[in-house]
Structure 1
Amino acid sequence: MTPPLGDIAHLGHVELLTPDLEASVAFFTEYLGLTVNGRSGDSVYLRTWDDYEHHSLVLTAHTTSGVRRTALRASSEEALLRRVKELENTGHAGRWTEDEPGLGRLFVTTDPDGHELALYWESERYQAPDALAPALKNQPQAKPGHGVGVRRLDHVNFLASDVAANGGFLSRVLGARPTEQIRLDSGRIAGQWLTFTNKSYDVVYTEDWTGSQGRLHHIAFATDSREDILCAADLAIDTGVFIETGPHKHAIQQTFFLYVYEPGGNRIELCNPLTRLVLDPDWQLVTWTEAERAKGQAWGLKTIESFHTHGTPPVRS
């Protein structure tokens, strides 16, 4: 039986691997406007100005790029234990650890494709130092005066060898709700967008053309407005940040977007989905056909080839 929506409160943070740690840190701080909130060994902890926790992103030095951990905060200690019990009952092994600053214990497991997921409840509220203190007491940190100034971590898009299996796992075991999907003419599900909240999506699975497992398509940060994304495109060309595609608007989920690559090779989306919420308690899953997807994005721009072929870590041909 699918658990009720609500045991998972939201996407907490993502850990990215990078072969050029300092260049990646500079990209996220100088271009996107994140703040460094600690270092430990080969990892740097960063946060967006409107996320309330210790960190929104972890960058870890590695020989290659990709995603290591995606952390999901439960809505209570009881909710965490319910999801852990369900994971164990359905054969998804895991382990308890306390290995991240600002957090209590995490239950670390994987989805069917091998992406590492960590569930947790205990979380330290961020307290801004005087230099970063906001004028408004209802936000955790002052908005940065440089870079794009992204507001929060928005979603993660995994590449998967079997989209339906991974989406089904997130729904049945963790309580996500699929909102939109792509069904090919063969009947295979090639993409699925799922939410834990009243946002239209928090996690996406799209088909990995290589048949590999455990890879990343992109992570996304939300901006305050579409205008911020247009400004981000201007800032990218001024500072040498590679633009893959956009600014434009997706047909699926109607998200206004810009895709860039960070120096480690990971794809980053800047998105403005803030006005689209799923408030319908019995939302009907929207299914897009292969023919509909062939029309391209919302205003007719065809999806570029690299959007289907670039993922991290790279796969040798």
Structure 2
Amino acid sequence: MTGPPSGDIAHLGHVHLRTPDPDRSLWFFTRILGLTENGRSGDSVYLRTWDDYEHHSLVLTAHETSGLGRTALRASSEQALHARVKALREAGLPGKWEEDEPGLGPLYVTHAPDGHEIALYWESEWYEAPPELRPGLKNQPQAKPGHGVGVRRLDHVNYLAADVALEAAFAQDLLGARPTEQIMLDSGRIAARWLTFSSKSYDLVHTEDRSGRRGRLHHIAFATDSRDDILRAADLCLDNGVHIETGPHKHAIQQTFFLYVYEPGGNRMELCNPLTRLVLAPDWPLITWTEAERAKGQAWGLKTIESFHTHGTPP
């Protein structure tokens, strides 16, 4: 890495997810993962994790197919927001201001090179829990759910991309993300890169799309309090007919304890426990993994399942 992050982006705010099976997808996110509904608009439902301070963590929208819509990133200040908008415009990327989400002020909407929609914003209305969701501790936004996994926060987004290096450069050069780990093929091509805006080890991931298509989703991830929550999630998914793709296990890259499942709309979800791993060093070196190292599989020897390289949404 060449230096510390700009700090203009504070964190991943929320994502918009499309589903062709809205009723079953809503059941999955509320009853299995434990998100709380916080409003509706047209074909969209606004959902939140219990430890999110904002209006929503996920916007679930009925659609003809699955896939990712908008990814929203909160700036660290109004000045920081306008600095990023200026950088995007000077780079020749088209964008426009929108005010189309509850609890938020203006969002500057643009697109990454691969076509993924990115929105930047600053103004955000802090969530106030109704009486039935009021927590016992005043420094917690909402009471923990008494059902499902009870995921704590939206953790990261993994995009599929035709050109990983180009996508990562967009996040680094124009948004101020820091790369922390990557996979480099023997040919020298970057197959995946993990990036962070804060002391978390990663917020965004770009992974090579072997289909050659553009703008697709690999997965979105929700963080749990503990590894035990992920083991419980596996049992809940098994009991309720939710497809388990792989895990529970531990990644070698980023050392995340994981479970991958498909929600009923076909989108891949990761339940992860990365809470104990932080990147505090401002001069953290970019760690590169080779093809031979990745061929060994995950941290404890589990081989990467083939669908991990072929399944993406839209299909």
- What is the TM-score when the length of structure 2 is the normalising length? 0.99
Runs (5+) with no aligned partner, structure 2:
none
Match of 1:304 in 2: 305
Match of 1:287 in 2: 288
Q: Does 1:117 align with 2:92?
A: no
* CA-to-aligned-CA distance 1:29-48 (integer Å, 9 cap, x gap): 00000000000001000000
Change (3 A) 1:255 1:3: closer
Please say which of residues 162-171 and 1-10 is displaced more in the overlay: 1-10
Question: Root-mean-square deviation (CA), in Å?
Answer: 1.0
Match of 1:91 in 2: 92
* CA-to-aligned-CA distance 1:71-117 (integer Å, 9 cap, x gap): 00000000000000000000111000000000000000011100000
Match of 1:218 in 2: 219
CA contact (8 A) 2:16 2:60 kept: yes
Match of 1:227 in 2: 228
Match of 2:147 in 1: 146
Match of 1:103 in 2: 104
Match of 2:81 in 1: 80
Matched residue type, 2:30:
T
- What is the TM-score when the length of structure 1 is the normalising length? 0.98
How far apart, CA to CA, are the structure 1 residues paired with 2:239 and 2:17? Answer: 25
How far apart, CA to CA, are the structure 1 residues paired with 2:106 and 2:183? Answer: 36
Please say which of residues 282-291 and 4-13 is displaced more in the overlay: 4-13
* CA-to-aligned-CA distance 1:273-315 (integer Å, 9 cap, x gap): 000000011000000000000000000010000000000000x
CA contact (8 A) 1:3 1:173 kept: no
Summarize the alignment of residues 123-138 of structure 1 with structure 2, pairs less than 5 Å apart: 123-138=124-139
CA contact (8 A) 1:3 1:174 kept: no
CA contact (8 A) 2:5 2:178 kept: no
How far apart, CA to CA, are the structure 2 residues paired with 1:22 and 1:73? Answer: 29
How far apart, CA to CA, are the structure 1 residues paired with 2:291 and 2:189? Answer: 10
Change (3 A) 1:200 1:4: closer
Match of 1:166 in 2: 167
Runs (5+) with no aligned partner, structure 1:
none
What is the aligned-residue identity percentage?
78
Greater than 2 Å deviation, 4+ residue runs: 1-5
CA contact (8 A) 2:5 2:197 kept: no
How far apart, CA to CA, are the structure 2 residues paired with 1:52 and 1:214? Answer: 29
Match of 1:193 in 2: 194
